[in-house]
Structure 1
Amino acid sequence: MKITIGHTPDSDDAFMFYGMLTGKVPSNDFTVNHVIADIEELNRRALDNDLDVTAVSVHACAYLPNHTILRSGGSFGIGYGPIVIAKTNISPETLPKLKIAIPGKMTSAFLLLQLMIGKFDYIEMKFSDIPAAVRDGKVDAGLVIHETQLSYESENLIKILDVGKWWDQSTNGLPVPLGTNVMSNRFDIETIRKFDKYLHDSIAYGLEHQKEALDYSMQYSRGKPEALIEKFVKMYVNPITVDMGKPGEQSIRHLFDLATKQGLVQKFNLQIS
């Protein structure tokens, strides 16, 4: 069966799909074609249901009734997650009155920050452009994801808010639900679970062969040093990535319970394989 998979040009996604896309983990059931796109573009493409499997923000799942969340391939922070950066040490209490750059309205980072500080003025831009926009004064602050969570200090910026830490403390240690993989419901549940196992095996292979998987991931390093990329990958490819288990599922359901109560998303039927 031929299927098309969307994943981001990020080192952690590349690490997860390394075994699958290089043929190190073969499948008798699936022939894979992969598409690379920014996470917010994949979120929007999922709305059109034009990819068989795709990485999406957990937040985007609120708008994807025709997809099932896979148990493997999720990006969960363990006590860490998105942060807000600025040029100067501004007070977090002033953030709702300032203009904040965000990496997309359907990103989980945006939803989490809304849950944390309430509504605020924002402008959308590509996540990798946010540090420069903050540094150049185009915005007052920036909500950063991916490896920019680790590299902001190299651009003389400072962290003023830790969204991942807030979630960790306010939920008694639930993992921070950020990204996931979904499969179109045009496939039956047996096929969805079969692909879920294939992805599970690809992630496990990467963790068992970390050096070669990291070497493969460096093609998506965006010029960042190997040590930083290795640290980032090890943060977001963790045991909950292999299988979200009860903690991962609970964190996703809790995120949407909070968002529904605050009117940030409408109530919907969450489907997990």
Structure 2
Amino acid sequence: MKIAFSPCPNDTFIFHAWVHGLVPDAPQLEVTYADIDVTNQIASMAGVDAPDILKISYAALPWVQSDYALLPCGGALGRGCGPLVLTNSSLNRSNGDAGRVSGAAALSGRRVAVPSERSTAYLLFRLWAAQQVPGGVGEIVVMPFHEIMPAVRDGLVDAGLVIHEARFTYHTYGLHLLQDLGSWWEADTGLPIPLGAIIARRSLDVHAIADWIRTSVEYAWAHPEVSRDYVMSLAQELSPEVAQAHIDLYVNEFSANLGEDGYAAVHALLSRAAEAGLVPKVDLAALRW
């Protein structure tokens, strides 16, 4: 069975047991490690060679729902784990007669780097900016995730949208936090933040796949030390401390079961985005099975 997920510590921690044959009766996995922007593109193609199971952005789900089912476990959804908008200064600036402009308003007309145009992070950013940035931002520049913080630091862009381990490392680039989009989302909706989804081909036994993933998650929690070498071998030069902080933040109760709050968060994100014309309208009822 083919699967594609990122080399990030939360994904490798979750899937370690299944990848290494520690989940009873589960088929052997053929793994492709790829950043989520790549898996979003792979899923949208849905060809015969596309993986059976993928980790994608919830924002990409509307484009693949006809071919892939959302699984209720294994993804990234939680509280206090949202994307960040970073700058290399307070971004205060002179605004003529209006005086000094700071905070979200300072992004008006500015150049912002994002890691993908079909990521949940970018979708949250667009929903937030429409509500908070007068006149909207200026140019959006798509660049690889690892290039964004250096670009902000060096003044190549005015601000950057970052995810995952950047939450723990952005201060080492001398950057400033302009907005935690997760905090905004939670305050605005009262719901957790839906980031990454696990999907499987509808033609497969999605119930069995969900059971195998949940077993892999539970094994990881019961034996955290067993996956350590595997996680660190793919952790892209993260320190063990940052990798563990990453796991602690993104692997949580929703990793085992989306539950009512999890599905409500997904419904809220995709329905708001569809109403704003940012994604195709989805069959929200069909997200559950």
Partner of 1:207: 221
Residues in 2 aligned to 1:204 and 1:12: alpha-carbon distance in whole angstroms: 13
Please identify the structure whose Cα radius of gyration is greater.
2
In 1, the alpha carbon distance for the partners of 2:123 and 2:21 equals: 36
Return the letter of the residue paired with 2:54. T
2:101 corresponds to 1:85: no
Superposition deviation, residue 248 in structure 1: 0.7
1:39 equivalent to 2:36? Answer: yes
Deviation at 1:224, TM superposition (A): 1.9
The residue type paired with residue 78 of structure 1 is R
Q: Percent identity?
A: 30
Partner of 2:144: 126
Q: Any conservation in 2 of the 1:128–1:148 contact (CA below 8 Å)?
A: no
1:77–1:164 CA contact under 8 A, matched in 2: no
Structure 1 residues not aligned, in runs of 5+: none
Is residue 178 from structure 1 mapped to residue 175 from structure 2 by the alignment? no
Do the aligned residues in 1 keep the contact of 2:21 with 2:28 (CA within 8 Å)?
no
Alignment match, 2:99: none
1:74 and 1:96, CA in 2 relative to 1: closer, same or farther beyond 3 A?
Answer: farther
How far does residue 81 in structure 1 lie from its aligned partner after superposition? 0.7
Where has structure 1 moved over 6 Å in runs of 4 or more? none
Matched to 1:140, the amino acid is D
How many residues matched? 266
- Which residue matches 2:123? 111
Aligned to 1:261: 275
Cα deviation for residue 225 of structure 1 reads 1.4
CA RMSD of aligned residues (A): 1.3
Deviation, structure 1 residue 24: 2.0
Separation (CA, whole Å) in 1 of partners of 2:123 and 2:281: 15
Cα deviation per residue 1:21-43 (whole Å; 9 max; x = unaligned)?
A: 1112232x522111111110000
- In the TM superposition, residue 264 of structure 1 has moved relative to its aligned partner by 1.1
1:52 to partner: Cα distance? 0.6
Any idea what the Cα deviations from partners look like across 1:48-96, whole Å, max 9, x if unmatched?
1111100000000011121100001110131331001111012321224
Contact preservation (8 Å) 2:90, 2:176: yes
Deviations 1:8-30 (A, max 9, x none): 12111000101101112232x52
Cα deviation for residue 214 of structure 1 reads: 3.3
**Are the equivalent residues in 2 in contact too, given 1:214–1:230 (CA < 8 A)?**
no
Over residues 181-209 of structure 1, what are the superposed CA-to-partner deviations in whole Å (9 max), with x where a residue is unaligned? 1011232xxx1110111001001110111
Deviates more, 1:40-49 or 1:224-233: 224-233
Question: Deviation at 1:211?
Answer: 2.2
Aligned counterpart, 1:67: 68
Paired position in structure 1 for 2:23: 25
Corresponding residue for residue 254 of structure 2: 240
